Structure 1
Amino acid sequence: MKICLQDTAYRGATGLMTGTGEPSAAVNMVRKHADSKTVTGSLSGSYGSWDKRRVVADVSAPLTTAGNVRTRVITGYQDGNSWLDRYGKRKKFFTGALDADLTAMTTLSVGYDYQQAHTSSPTWGGVPTWYADGGRTHFDRSFSPAPDWSYSEHKANKVFASLAQRFDNGWLLNATGTHAENRFDSKLMYASGFPDRATGGGVSAFGGWNKGKRKLDSLDMYASGPVTVFERQHTLMLGGSYSKQNNHYINAQSSFSADEVGDYFRWNGRIAEKPWSPWVDYSNDTIRKRSLYGAARITLADPLHAIVGARYTHWRASGTTANSDKSRITPYAGLIYDINDSWSGYASYTSIFQPQSVRNIDKRYIDPATGNSYETGLKGDWLNGRLTASVALFYTRQDNVAVRTSEYIPGTDEMAWRAANDTVSKGVEFELNGKLTDDWLMTVGGSRFMAQAGDHTAINPWMPRTTLKLFTRYRLPILPALTLGGGVNWQNSTWQDVAGPQGAARIHQGSYALVDLFGRYQVTQRLAVQANVNNLFDKENFDYLGAYAVYGAPRSVSVAVNYDF
């Protein structure tokens, strides 16, 4: 079995692919292009629990008879409510792309993205985990701490262009540029305090009105192609990139006493909006990143391949809440050995340099995470791909790892983080995919990891350390148009130490499993209908553990119709 060196997903640290490196999976996001020389597309619509509606149109068409100039338009609208009281969200989006073959070897692509979203009564924080006497509360999952005047608006515009030049010798030269602007405007209220068990009093609140704009300009250029050395063919890539991002946010505040909030058990969001404080800058920062990178995919022998590379990155952040100038070379090396026709083994090393976009309680950006990551594993392929398996072991050591706290940055809706040093993460993961019959597919997988800082404290213990998944899909032989499937995701217990009403306390959540089902019916070759049920058994769980917890979504149902043409 051969392992593809140009897949769309990578596990382990990603310093070679992205230049910054982080011990996690990475997905190679490819823009949608206008690549059809005939009129084609799809129309889809869905409706689900809490009046959630979504419609999308995706149409491609040639603009010339020869098809050397093509266009693609993707547009849609969605709105709906939530299991949370008063919550509602609507969103509209548009993407337009134009691809032109300037010559047989040269392609120009340009495009534009637009998104606008409005959320009514968005939450900021969660519900109190404890009563004032230290006992555990149990709010209904529909309970929302948001007032009826809160909202959040987001507008995003992006223009992009790329030029690809291919050569007869197999080489490719590619240049991509992007300009993006995002605007934010939100009025939120954060409820703070632990309610009296008898009266519901003792919960005060403060409001944050936040506006901001983020601008991004980026350019990336690389060349890649085959080279022949010692009668073996290899692949070489050389490139460079530059990006500049400016974040400018302003903030106003207000406060509400416990008397104004009243009995929190009867909270319905009806509280008068109070005068706001004068606007102040709470962030005006510019972040620049320059990179040069090179990589080689080398065939050492018929069964042995190597990937080596390095990237130099210069990261600089300056402004009211950022003042950092860091440079780093991130080397990468990996070996892949084809043991036989079914098994391949691999081992890899990468240095980590990961600039971070989170800030501490003092509004300061946390310096880039640095460290090293190692991974080794096996992959198997049998019966012409009907059965595949993989297992991997990993070990990562880092400094400046961002750890989420249970606090918000004062006057903002932004969660505060802290930096942890000398952290170690190690673990194992596996996956098994099988086509049991021509009509029956199944996937089984899982992972187990440990993560702790140099002082032996757990890193982000609210994240599950052990996860298991099972997914299956079956097409009925007696009714081949109908496919049924489902899956279960299980995670172990989690916890977090926070400040409770009686001092330091630990919030705990036991292990749980969520079950999802789906059914798809192919009405015609072009028309399909699918129904989904998420959280089938309506399992109550928390998405976030803390002094103020956030419930996960209850059971939901949706039906979607898709038509291809």
Structure 2
Amino acid sequence: MKHIHLQRHLSITLSALILTNTIMLADDKKENIKLNSIEIVEDTKTKYLYNKKMSANRSNIELKNTAKSIQIFNEDFIKDASLQNIEDVIKFSSNTIYTGDSHGRTNQISMRGFEGVPILIDGLKVTNKLAHPDINNFETVEVQKGPDSLQYGESSPGGIVNLVKKKPSKESIGEIGFEFNDNTAQKANIDLGGSLNEEDSLYYRLVSTIKKDKGYVNNNTDTNGIFLAPSLAYDINDNNTLTFVSEYTKETSPSTFGTYVNKQGELVSSLENTISNPDEKFKKTQKLVGLDLDSTFNTWNSHFKYRYINYVGDNADVHMPFMYNETTNTLSRIYAKQKQKFQEHALQYTVNKKLNILNLDHNITLGADYNKAYSKLDMYADMGTTYSINLSNPSYEELTRLSDHSSARDMSTEKTYVKSWGTFLQDSINLSDSLILNAGLRYSESKPKTGQKTDAYTPSLGLVYHVTPKTILYTNYSESFKPNSNKDINKKILDPETGNGLELGIKQKLLDDKFNLTAAVFKINKENIAKLDPNDVTNQSYKASGEQESKGFEIDISGEITSNLSIIASYGYTKTKDKDNDNLKLTNVPEHTANIFTTYNLASFNLPSIHIGGGARYIGNRYADEANKIELDSAIVYNANIGYKKNNWKANLSIQNLSDEKYVDGALSSNARGTRVYAGTPKTVYATISYAF
């Protein structure tokens, strides 16, 4: 592949900001301000433009008054583009890439050069989540860039993602849909909602999916799953609403250990061949229950959220990849058995208050949150017996059981937990009709069952200037933190990893407010990264001395170009360096990424019920190893769609990865045992049909 060489001279100039915040009492009766204001935009055919309040924002700040780069992808876009998983949605945001799923256990997202991006659920931090959650259950997917531990605590300096689930609806909803693909996959889903009484005070939502998928890999195990998500809301009175939510997921699928690349970064095996054993089964079960209490009054509101999650992931018997030999293209595997059990209690409470202090309008937010996450691992591994296959032409042995491995080592752990909590105060001050100051400070604390406490203070400061009603300039400084689990030579837990970032951007409305553009330049530093202590000859102690940096530019656009032509697109440039590793680039981070998806309605051809669409995703070359010796090629992945919408019927035919490009999403590991990666999905044809009633 030809490499694209672009040079960006980035310059960020920020003014010094002085915050003076006086806490005063205010009479609630003196002003009557409606919170949660919504900016109304003209309805469009595809409705890709989203200008409502961001769900992940615990304050009442509208998007236009937020000093952050934020992209929100709604259900219309997800369906028109035939996106199958949340990671397919997330990577449409600039400088955002998907690097794998850790053997089917969790979605791994990198943003602005840094991995470990947390995925929130309805604006709530959840430690352990199901990988690849059912995409039919989400109204929007929100992406917020840059370090930001202010409202949610532990985070990545790259940003956060929030998945907004479908809520109970007073309006009647009824839709049933079916999906098929050329791998003989079958999926049926239903979405129901509406009021249950004449007063419209009791209303519900039910989302459910049943699926079966053979997949493109030659496994003897098909993916079979069921998902059920009923929710119920009750308006206690005009000011208070109580909502009960629940979910049940049960799925059986093959193991997903990825594949390998050689020292030239080339895939060494057909994507249709598994590198473990075709008889393996990975069983996942997740149960979720929770409630929300939302209270809204004239000048204040409050939101209480609680979720309990119980997850079990069971890889009963596997022949796990262990060591790759590039010379012979053979892979040695070992027997392993693993079951992970997670339970979690997550609580969150937020109060927003409108005040006028010294003739300035303030929007004050006070929040607190608490998580207690339990975990238990049952694991056995037999390191003394290996099973070898040639990846060019694999011949698989019979899958063994634990009873066949008397020398298997018991690597199980006792049930343990980590408790974390935090509180923050944020104020958005209207310094004038066009100038808004956002400032806040958070205290966070984390403590394992047996271990030392980690705590951190994280500030955030932003300035928004409305040049005109259509042009907004913003700048911000924010910080993030993540607890370290490694210990120093004195057996003390290291200080948490910290991130800090500067950003300068513009938000622009175009084409009669039907088109949004957001552009930003940024610089982010990550510090206190655990590195092996050279003074410890046992190589078991660490020092919090590592430092990494990323800087770049990005642009995101969405909306209507004409009444028939809609588009979502992005471009990102990120330059990274590991300052403790000769300024080499960080792994899995391309300098250039770009995305585009567009739909065109054929009304001008007297076919108003039909739209055509398509797009492309570009991911630049990047390195799979810290030494920057194994380079993964750039790739362009195309897709095409044709859709039909008339009355209550919808149908869509989509081809994803139209040219059947062979490419890598990201590297899981690269060491003496080989470089294991996750490859992109090959060409797949999807057909969907749905009926609303």
TM (normalized to structure 1)?
A: 0.86
The one of 521, 524, 529 equivalent to 1:393 is 521
The one of 12, 26, 38 equivalent to 2:146 is 12
Counterpart check, 1:180 vs 2:338? no
Q: Separation in 1 of the partners of 2:201 and 2:502? A: 46
Summarize the Cα distance change of 1:173–1:390 in structure 2 as closer, same or farther, 3 Å threshold: closer
* Cα deviation code 1:442-471 (max 9, x no counterpart): 344211112222223435332212112222
Partner of 1:140: 270
Summarize the Cα distance change of 1:548–1:34 in structure 2 as closer, same or farther, 3 Å threshold: closer
Partner of 1:428: 553
Taking every aligned residue pair, what percent have the same amino acid on both sides?
19
The one of 503, 511, 517 equivalent to 2:640 is 517
Counterpart check, 1:58 vs 2:191? yes
Q: Separation in 1 of the partners of 2:325 and 2:353? A: 65
Q: Unaligned stretches of 5+ in structure 2?
A: 1-38, 40-61, 71-141, 532-541
Amino acid at match of 1:534: Q
The one of 419, 431, 441 equivalent to 1:288 is 419
Partner of 2:661: 539
Counterpart check, 1:438 vs 2:563? yes
Deviation of the 1:254 alpha carbon: 2.7
Amino acid at match of 2:251: A
Between 1:423-432 and 1:242-251, the stretch displaced more is: 423-432
Summarize the Cα distance change of 1:435–1:109 in structure 2 as closer, same or farther, 3 Å threshold: closer
Q: Separation in 2 of the partners of 1:183 and 1:418? A: 34
Does structure 1 conserve the Cα–Cα contact (< 8 Å) formed by 2:585 and 2:628?
Answer: no
Deviation of the 1:367 alpha carbon: 6.7
- Secondary structure in structure 2 of the residue aligned to 1:90: strand
Partner of 1:154: 284
Taking the TM superposition and a 5 Å limit, the aligned residue runs for 1:151-550 are: 151-167=281-297, 169-186=298-315, 187-195=317-325, 203-255=331-383, 257=385, 260-261=387-388, 263-274=390-401, 275-276=404-405, 277=408, 279-282=410-413, 284-319=415-450, 323-355=451-483, 368-401=496-529, 421-433=546-558, 435-455=560-580, 456-476=582-602, 477-478=604-605, 479-497=607-625, 506-522=629-645, 524-545=646-667, 546=670, 547-550=675-678
- Secondary structure in structure 2 of the residue aligned to 1:540: coil
Between 1:444-453 and 1:531-540, the stretch displaced more is: 444-453
* Cα deviation code 1:354-389 (max 9, x no counterpart): 347999xxxx99974213111111121133213432
Q: Separation in 2 of the partners of 1:541 and 1:340? A: 44
Q: Separation in 2 of the partners of 1:311 and 1:163? A: 23
- Superposition RMSD in Å: 3.1
User: 1 or 2 for the larger relative contact order (CA 8 Å, sep ≥6)?
Assistant: 2
Summarize the Cα distance change of 1:272–1:389 in structure 2 as closer, same or farther, 3 Å threshold: closer
Does structure 1 conserve the Cα–Cα contact (< 8 Å) formed by 2:151 and 2:424?
Answer: no
Deviation of the 1:137 alpha carbon: 6.8
Does structure 2 conserve the Cα–Cα contact (< 8 Å) formed by 1:90 and 1:119?
Answer: yes
Does structure 2 conserve the Cα–Cα contact (< 8 Å) formed by 1:338 and 1:344?
Answer: yes
Q: Separation in 2 of the partners of 1:66 and 1:304? A: 43
Deviation of the 1:487 alpha carbon: 0.8
Does structure 2 conserve the Cα–Cα contact (< 8 Å) formed by 1:473 and 1:486?
Answer: yes
Aligned residue pair count: 531
Does structure 2 conserve the Cα–Cα contact (< 8 Å) formed by 1:195 and 1:264?
Answer: no
Does structure 2 conserve the Cα–Cα contact (< 8 Å) formed by 1:351 and 1:370?
Answer: yes
Partner of 2:253: 119
- Secondary structure in structure 2 of the residue aligned to 1:4: helix
Does structure 1 conserve the Cα–Cα contact (< 8 Å) formed by 2:296 and 2:302?
Answer: yes
* Cα deviation code 1:245-270 (max 9, x no counterpart): 01111101135756x53555442433
Does structure 2 conserve the Cα–Cα contact (< 8 Å) formed by 1:19 and 1:293?
Answer: no
Deviation of the 1:482 alpha carbon: 0.7
Does structure 1 conserve the Cα–Cα contact (< 8 Å) formed by 2:665 and 2:678?
Answer: yes
Does structure 2 conserve the Cα–Cα contact (< 8 Å) formed by 1:228 and 1:234?
Answer: yes
Does structure 2 conserve the Cα–Cα contact (< 8 Å) formed by 1:315 and 1:327?
Answer: yes
- Secondary structure in structure 2 of the residue aligned to 1:497: coil
Partner of 1:79: 212
Summarize the Cα distance change of 1:149–1:388 in structure 2 as closer, same or farther, 3 Å threshold: closer
Q: Separation in 1 of the partners of 2:161 and 2:319? A: 35
Does structure 2 conserve the Cα–Cα contact (< 8 Å) formed by 1:123 and 1:188?
Answer: no
Q: Unaligned stretches of 5+ in structure 1?
A: 404-416, 499-503
Q: Separation in 2 of the partners of 1:74 and 1:294? A: 36
* Cα deviation code 1:397-439 (max 9, x no counterpart): 1124589xxxxxxxxxxxxx99872111111111244633211
Summarize the Cα distance change of 1:117–1:402 in structure 2 as closer, same or farther, 3 Å threshold: farther
Q: Separation in 2 of the partners of 1:389 and 1:151? A: 45
